[in-house]
Amino acid sequence: MPYILLQAGTAAANALPISGHSTAYILAWLGLFLMVALSGIGSAMGTVIGGSATIAAMKKREDVFANCMILSALPGTQGLYGFGAFFILKGFATADVNMITAAAIFGAGLISGLVNLISAYFQARVVSTGIESIGNGHNVFSNTLILAVYPELYAIISFAACFLISAMLPL
**47-to-33, 42, 78, 123, 162 alpha-carbon distances in Å:** 21, 9, 10, 10, 24
Closest CA to 85 of 69, 107, 54: 107
Q: Is the CB of residue 117 less than 8 Å from the CB of residue 61? A: no
Q: Is the CB of residue 19 less than 8 Å from the CB of residue 1? A: yes
**What's the pLDDT tens digit per position in 58-102?**
999 999 999 999 999 999 999 999 999 999 999 999 999 999 999
**What's the pLDDT tens digit per position in 93-129?**
999 999 999 999 999 999 999 999 999 999 999 999 9
pTM: 0.85
Q: Is the CB of residue 130 less than 8 Å from the CB of residue 56? A: no
Q: Find the helix or strand (DSSP H, E) in which 4 lies.
A: strand 3-4
**Domains of the chain from N-terminus onward:** 20-168 (1.20.120.610)
